[in-house]
Chains A and B, each alone.
Chain A
Amino acid sequence: MIGRWLSLLAAQAIIRIVAGAVTLAAALAVTVAAAPVSLVAAAALAIAWLRGWEPRRLFTAAAWCAPMVAVWLVGTARTAPTWQHVAAAPYRAWTGFWHLAATGAVPHAAATIAPVAVPLGLVAGGLAWSYRIRSLAAGAGGLSPAAAVAFDQRQWQRQARAARARIAAPGSVPLTMRNDLIGAGAVIRSVRHRGGLVAAIGYQRLRSHQVVIGTTGTGKTTLLLRLWAGFMATGLRRHAAGLGAPPLLVVLDCKGGSDARRLADRVRRVLRQAGARSTAIWPDEASLSLWSLPPRQLTSTLVDLIEHGTGSAAYYADVMEALVGLAVEAPCGPPVSAADLLARLEPGWLSMAYAAAGTAADHAMIRSASRQLADVALRFRTLFRRLGSGLDGPGGFGDADAWYCILEGTDQIAVAEGQARALVDLLASFAVRGPARREILLAVDEFSAVSRRLPIWQLYERARSLGLAVQVSAQSWQGLGTSPDERLRIAASAEGGIWLLRTPEPEPVTALAGTIRVVQTSRYLRRFPIWSHRGSSRVEEVPVADPNLIRILDVGQTAYIYRGGVTYLQVKRLVAAPAAVGGVPASPAEPPAGLRAAAAPAEVSPRVDAAPPAGVSPRVDAASPAGVSPRVDAGAGRSGADPTAVPLPDISLLLDAAFGPEHSP
């Protein structure tokens, strides 16, 4: 009995070995017989493995061989007497290949079989590569369960290397593409997104809210520059084609300092190449006028710019709002400058302004609150000194294609918060009441510096209807807001997608991409290090965006999370035109120009300061030549007096000789 059992076992083993050998021999025979197809398949498999390609790419390549096959078949049909000859063409090509190869005419033989062998080989290679990937992804392939992990890591490295090589090729990733697509970089890997060589997003995604998260040195600026340039180039092209309003890019750089100014210069050069005619750098080169806001909104903005306490301090906030409202909404019109407003926060001015047209309630309020006026004026004087002259006009967002606003959020957080608040209010007002409709993208870089007092999510919720998209970037998840609820609200509203660069805590963001079902297989350990190929499989939910992959992203690599899918890509750096050689380099010890401009706002408009309450009609003043304008005066105040203390030598003789004597007008 035992002998029979043992014989049966031996017979089974022998049968298995023989069957295996026969199968192997048959496979070898088929491989050799179909040598051309086998060679192409092996080559395709090797290339796909080395470059980290998806199997789909091999199938696509096979499909692109269809024209070649069609031409070959047509050529065969023209010489073939019957259709049976055409049907047998692949077989004839195969036999012809061997006959030619046997005679030593290898190139001729290869050309004969190529129309058949290349597509078939690519398909075979694709199938084999797909089998390999799927078996490893399911945990069933490889010698051990760890093989899948090692395979994935190696594939990532190969895919990243291939993407880097792709972006290095000139012209491989165009900034703008057909169908209003904006090329961002080369695809490394994608999950639940359509794969491809070039990662491109639609213009409309940039017209929706987006979030960018990445620590310093991960390539965030490179990514942002590319997105901004793409937005500008595509927006201008659409506008030229009559498909949309002209674009307007407003960047709030909340970091400030010399880095911001260098970046501003780079942004200007990049945007110039993208088609932007003018990029205004605020407050260094251009200014905006807070006073162009409608009176009611101006009151609200001015009051919001000043921090108020809670509890009993709310009373003073109400008093301040009432007084500012009286000054701003005076019958003679709103103030035209900071100095004008300060001049109005004075009992005599208010009484005179409301003497003719004011109601009894206005007069009562002026009387009752007159004691607080000095305090309110003091607070606003301090506020304007901090904000600088950049918001005192002239200028508006409509004056340029792009605005790069530098906020000193690193060393003057309170100032940056106030400036950001005022700029956002101005932009919202421009979007609603601007003279011409614009497609606006507001990009807030280093949002954490101003997040405390800039409720961006409020803007998020009403921005779409204003034609305004908001792009918020921060160094970490925590930088998106002060509370978890606020962060989640900002990230969840990012309809245009989330760009995630390397960051130590990506989980809250990757969770937004959702999960994907995958097959996980457990294998029995026979004896270390041999695992059986038997086991059990189950379906599990894993994150679509792998947090561990985010943690190891290299410089310039980013994950784009959108609609439950993720695309990992290598961002293509935009190379701007070289900067012109500057004159004398600024000394690092000196503060930047923007700060200096902010240091002397008290000089704003001495003429208005000195004006008696009788000049209560700033509108008349503004129109009259004498007032030529508070704006002119404000500029004169900023420019200061003669910077050269030494008297200049007389050049009248030269000028008289060249142009004649000076005429009196």
Chain B
Amino acid sequence: MIRADGASALAAPGGRHPGRTGRHADGLIFTGEMYGVQLDQLTTVLDVSHRSVGAIVAKWRTAGLAEAARLGPGPRWVWLTRAGLADCGLQYSPGVPGLARLAHLRAVTGIRLALAGTPQYAAAGAYWRSERRLRAKIGGRLGLREHVPDGEVHWPDSAPVPWAGECWAIEAELTPKTVARTVMIMQELLARTGDYGCPAAQARVLGRPPRHARVIYLCSRAALPTVARARAALGSAGARIEIRGLPDGAELPSAGTTPP
């Protein structure tokens, strides 16, 4: 279901590690791209049952590719170790998902899964470029107040959809910021012309087509009014901003949820 970006970089997915299917490799890459994934979301990624996903994660842990632990409310979190990231060809710094970011990470994963579940996404062969990948590309060159979206969706030029060739910035908004700050972020995303990690002079060049044709905001109920006001403050440029609620299951489960 998920088109794993960089899947080709995975060296011999079924060869060096007998028993690991291509789908499992995709799950590993997905986990690495998203910093960490909760087991219920990994179930959707791998398209297996709750019981099977536990066994798969146990295999990953045995192979030293991943770690799993209960970091917050809801099911366990799975994240890749240094060996796992190296095995997937992902040059990211390994680390346990930060406690303060768990809700955000789950929301972004939920958004990606919801989008990937649409027939248009699959038919177009769209490509999700994760925040972790964007940040890795920037390296240490993150400029002052440079905002990195929570993800980018790239629609191939040949995709059978009217918006083929577009690049969307995805923003998951759980807690309301100030309107001013939200407006600034929107402006930055809409005005950006260069790729992340490009030289400073190419980040915003007037006359060039914007990098993000649209910005898709997926908001919690609390953040929705602020984002809507910020879009209204943008005037005509706000037409390139879409606002929707978070998909079902994207918010962190409450503490009472029974983990699988």
Q: Which residues of A contact B (CB under 8 A)?
A: 258, 261-262, 264-265, 268-269, 272-273, 278-281, 284-286, 395, 399-400, 577, 579-586, 590, 592-594, 596, 625, 628-629, 631-632, 635-636, 639-644, 648-651, 653-655, 657-665
- Closest Cβ of chain A to B215, distance in Å, is 12
Chain B residues lying within 8 Å of A281, measured Cβ to Cβ, are 143-144, 200
* A642 with B198: CB separation less than 8 A: no
The 3 A-B residue pairs with the shortest CB-CB distance in the complex, in nearest-first order = A580-B197, A583-B195, A582-B198
In the assembly, what is the distance between CA of A20 and CA of B111, in Å? Answer: 99
* B187 with A586: CB separation less than 8 A: no
Knowing A593-B206, A636-B187, A659-B246, say if A399 contacts B144 (CB, 8 Å): yes
Chain A residues lying within 8 Å of B201, measured Cβ to Cβ, are 258, 261, 284, 586, 592-594
- Identify the closest chain B residue to A265 (Cβ): B199
In the assembly, what is the distance between CA of A629 and CA of B229, in Å? Answer: 13
- Closest Cβ of chain A to B182, distance in Å, is 9
Binds A, one of B6-14, B59-67, B73-81, B134-142: B134-142
Of A272, A629, A644, most B-chain CB atoms within 10 Å: A644
Query: Per-residue 0/1 for B202-223: is the Cβ within 8 Å of any A Cβ (1 yes, 0 no)?
Result: 1111111111011010100000
Considering the complex, which residues of chain B in the window 60-115 have a beta carbon less than 8 Å from any beta carbon of chain A?
Answer: 111, 114-115
For the complex, is B225 an interface residue (Cβ under 8 Å from A)? Answer: yes
* B179 with A580: CB separation less than 8 A: no
Chain A residues lying within 8 Å of B144, measured Cβ to Cβ, are 278-281, 285-286, 395, 399-400
Chain A residues lying within 8 Å of B216, measured Cβ to Cβ, are 655
Q: Is the interface of B mostly helix, strand, loop or mixed?
A: mixed
- Identify the closest chain A residue to B227 (Cβ): A665
- Closest Cβ of chain B to A399, distance in Å, is 6
- Identify the closest chain A residue to B188 (Cβ): A639
Of A395, A643, A660, most B-chain CB atoms within 10 Å: A643
Binds A, one of B32-40, B43-51, B235-243: B235-243
**9 additional contacts, CB 8 Å, given A663-B245, A665-B229?**
A264-B200, A285-B145, A579-B141, A580-B196, A593-B203, A636-B235, A640-B206, A655-B242, A658-B247
Chain A residues lying within 8 Å of B180, measured Cβ to Cβ, are 628-629, 631-632
Chain B residues lying within 8 Å of A650, measured Cβ to Cβ, are 162
- Closest Cβ of chain A to B58, distance in Å, is 32
Chain B residues lying within 8 Å of A653, measured Cβ to Cβ, are 120
For the complex, is B259 an interface residue (Cβ under 8 Å from A)? Answer: no
* B235 with A593: CB separation less than 8 A: no
For the complex, is B148 an interface residue (Cβ under 8 Å from A)? Answer: no
Query: Per-residue 0/1 for B153-181: is the Cβ within 8 Å of any A Cβ (1 yes, 0 no)?
Result: 00000000111001000000000000110
- Identify the closest chain A residue to B186 (Cβ): A639
Quick one: which of B111, B183, B209, B243 contacts A635, CB cutoff 8 A?
Answer: B183
In the assembly, what is the distance between CA of A443 and CA of B30, in Å? Answer: 46
In the assembly, what is the distance between CA of A635 and CA of B184, in Å? Answer: 7
In the assembly, what is the distance between CA of A272 and CA of B210, in Å? Answer: 28
For the complex, is B4 an interface residue (Cβ under 8 Å from A)? Answer: no
Knowing A285-B200, A658-B114, A659-B245, say if A584 contacts B163 (CB, 8 Å): no
- Closest Cβ of chain A to B149, distance in Å, is 15
* B137 with A580: CB separation less than 8 A: yes
Chain A residues lying within 8 Å of B214, measured Cβ to Cβ, are 648, 651
Knowing A269-B140, A635-B184, A639-B237, say if A660 contacts B247 (CB, 8 Å): yes
